[in-house]
Amino acid sequence: MPAGEDPSDPEDMPTMPNVPGEEPYSLDVNFFLWKYPYQEWFTDVFWHPEDSPGAHRAITDGFFLEWKGTFVGLFRQPESRTVSAFNYFAKGVGDVNAWAKQHWGLQTKMLAASASEDAWDAIACEIYANATEFKGYDEWMANCNESAEELVPLALDRLQTGFVFVGLTEEFDLSVCLLHRMLGGECVEVEFNDLRAADSTKQHSDPSSQLESIQQDPGPDPWDNQIYDAAAEIFWRNVDDYGVSRSSCALSCPGAADIFAVDTSEDAVLLQTPHRKQQFDDPDFEYNWPGRRNWKHME
């Protein structure tokens, strides 16, 4: 994505180059498609070529049949994801508790869509949270609270049969390592960077406080948590099957070995891994170590 730091390079600017008779317009997420036209690049990689690879799209019946067994997914704990979405899309304005309940089941709906329009209302009521001037806003919002209960079995089936790789945002370092262990390729350091870090100066509330609040009311998302728990089970099973650990990742990812280095200084903090079972000794800090990046707080 363009950073806007080099005015002499049109590919680095946040607007399209001037076209005679037309005003420049924002590249936004479509910069990728402008620089790498789908017809020329990655023709067998992206499963929704009509839009930017960074766009929000559901897995429909047609897409699932075409790409079954090749999907790659990184899943995030539902309440944590909801807080992040609230602060990004709604700018942290409004009632985070009401927002959380309104968006229950969004990931379930995106995994188990029959056609594009089935999931679009759920997606739209999140990404256009404050865009009341958009045509169809009232219709989107009216459909936001629709139950996803009946879609859970299909979503779980698609997760378990359609994905070649499943990772966890909260275990981002181990997920990147596992991806390469399963599918090949060389780890590079940039893969471990948070390229879209939130601007904490613009947050209206503390994400930790928001998370604690919605965990109490309305409580855990009854549908998306089933999907996330299944994703976590797949992830940790593969971690064990492929021998992924801090020390093995340091060896297989030499270009990013510092990511898996233990900090031996006196003020180093041992992070608590939120999903790995703790009923075993880990004297070598293979799954949780002092100095580990705090992935679970990625906003």
From first to last of its 299 residues, the chain has per-residue pLDDT tens of 555 566 676 666 656 555 556 565 555 555 666 677 777 887 777 776 566 666 778 898 988 999 999 999 999 999 999 999 998 888 888 889 988 998 899 999 999 998 766 677 778 778 776 665 555 666 666 667 788 999 999 999 999 999 999 999 999 999 999 999 999 999 988 899 876 666 655 556 788 899 999 999 999 999 999 999 999 999 999 999 999 999 999 999 999 999 999 998 888 887 766 666 554 567 788 988 888 887 765 55
Say if residues 226 and 112 touch (Cβ distance below 8 Å): no
Q: Extract the runs of DSSP E, i.e. beta strands, from the chain.
A: 71-75, 163-168
């399209």: which residue's tokens? 16
Own/partner long-range contacts of 256-260 (Cβ < 8 Å, ≥24 apart)? 256/187, 256/188, 256/189, 256/191, 256/192, 258/189, 259/173, 259/189, 259/192, 259/293, 260/173, 260/177, 260/289
- Residue 16 per-residue DSSP state: P
Cα separation, 142 vs 139, whole angstroms: 5
Give the per-residue pLDDT at 80. Answer: 93
Helix (H, G, I), strand (E, B), or coil: what is residue 120? helix
Cα–Cα distance for residue pair 6/116, rounded to 1 Å? 38
Side chain identity, residue 195: L
Q: Are 289 and 262 in contact (CB under 8 A)?
A: yes
Report the residue count for the chain: 299
CA distances from 243 to 158, 256, 274, 295 (A): 25, 18, 20, 21
Instruction: Identify the bridge partners of residue 24 per DSSP, sorted by sequence position.
Output: none
Residue 79: its pLDDT value, please? 95
In the prediction, which pLDDT does 262 show? Answer: 92
